[in-house]
Chains A and B, each alone.
Chain A
Amino acid sequence: MKIILRFSLLALLAFAAFGASSATEKANAASAVPAPSPMDVKIDNFSFGPQSITVSAGTKITWKNRDDIPHTVVSTDGIFKSRVLDTDESFSFTFDKPGTYPYFCSVHPKMTGTVVVQ
């Protein structure tokens, strides 16, 4: 009786382990397919490049300041806001929802850009 019980427990454990790994594989497969590659926007010569960028939902965008002067990346609608970025510092934001996201540098407001998420 004891032997049978032990066997059953092992079987249960084995089944549980199999089930768990199967679920993990499914989850991996689900996120691997649509995960868009991250994109970069350069901050150079007091401008964002490209000034307008179109990405699919879920894309992470990274801005890197290549100027000798500090800049910021601030959503016009208050959705995202970097701290001040000194030379070679960067800021990232992941855009999950489709829409148009205008932004600017709050230090030099003539610097404007747009992220379009599809």
Chain B
Amino acid sequence: MSSKKSDELLIDHNHDGVDRRGFLKCMAWAGTGALCVMQGGVLKSFSLSRLSELDPAAAKGELHFVQISDSHMGFNKPANTDVAGTLKAAVDKIKALPKAPEFLLHTGDISHLSKPEEFDAVDQILKDTGKEVFFVPGEHDVLNDDGAQFRDRYGKGSQGAGWRSFDKNGVHFIGLVNVMNLKAGGLGTLGAEQLEWLEKDLQSRSKSTPVVVYAHIPLWSVYPEWGWGTDDATQALAYLKSFGSVTVLNGHIHQIMQKVEGNVTFHTAASTAFPQPTPGSADSPGPMKVPAEQLRKVLGITDVNFVRGQNALAVVDSSLA
């Protein structure tokens, strides 16, 4: 990389994997989805709501795909009474991209209550993109039936609870499921069977293969007090340690955060439905009500700096008021 682009991280002043300027950029991401561009094996993401500010050259890369998350179809509480409308707005932004993405990733909570009509509505809206969509379930997609409906609809070609891997343009994608069999008092869980599959899946890959892992609940400890982490993610990340470039894409927390740790870059995406409070800033992680005219702007734009042990997590307490 000869020159630093505006959305790259610069110097890691606090040894927390995130520089201040990079973080301000990160916080400036607002909107309903992220455009991910793979350049030289390094994944970069851009907010869909700031496309007009994006240098078209920066959006060019070896592979384009879009991540959307947490559409919560069926949610109709004050935080957003038109989640279909905001999902459609996300689709409009995807369609307006200067270069069409090759496919979409949906990182879960497709539906709010796992109802067939909710999944139907999302499928109908996303069909308008004309793109293939790879889904992993959120906890809202596997209510009452242990995910049977999710696997029926979106699990073709997947294994176990819906995990899978596939290759696109030399990039290895791995969709993980961490919302099943949750234990009292615990966080997200991958489980022994899935971890074993992951280890085998990675064994046959060259260490220079760029890897993108996507799952609903963050694979890093964003805020365990609110369940924002995955109990056995450490094991999964250990299998990924020897790879040169690893990007982890998650949803669940309805706000954009970024953290870089060694070879691994973690991103969480904004929701297309409603914002959730920054870690610890409210009594609970419930939906956050904002003035109607601000709703589309505030999805995922505020972060809190949460320091855990020696590793400061890439979470800054700030907002784009």
Contact = CB atoms under 8 A, between A and B. Distances in A.
Asked if A and B are interacting partners, one says yes
Interface of A: 45-47, 67-70, 72, 76, 83-84, 86-87, 102-104, 106-110, 112
Contacts of A108: 139, 227
Nearest to A113: B184
Nearest to A87: B77
Interface of B: 75, 77-79, 112-114, 139-140, 143-144, 182-187, 224-227, 283-287
A27 to B, nearest CB: 39
B185 A107 contact: no
Contacts of A104: 184-185
B139 A107 contact: yes
Contacts of B144: 83-84
The listed residue with most A CB atoms (<10 A of its CB), out of B77, B79, B185, B226, is B185
B74 to A, nearest CB: 9
B218 to A, nearest CB: 14
Contacts of A67: 284, 286
Interface SS of chain B: loop
B22 to A, nearest CB: 30
B255 to A, nearest CB: 16
Nearest to B112: A70
Given A84-B144, A110-B226, A68 B184 contact: no
B113 A86 contact: yes
Contacts of A84: 113-114, 143-144
A-B interface, 6 closest residue pairs, ranked by CB to CB distance from nearest: A104-B184, A46-B284, A45-B284, A68-B77, A109-B182, A84-B143
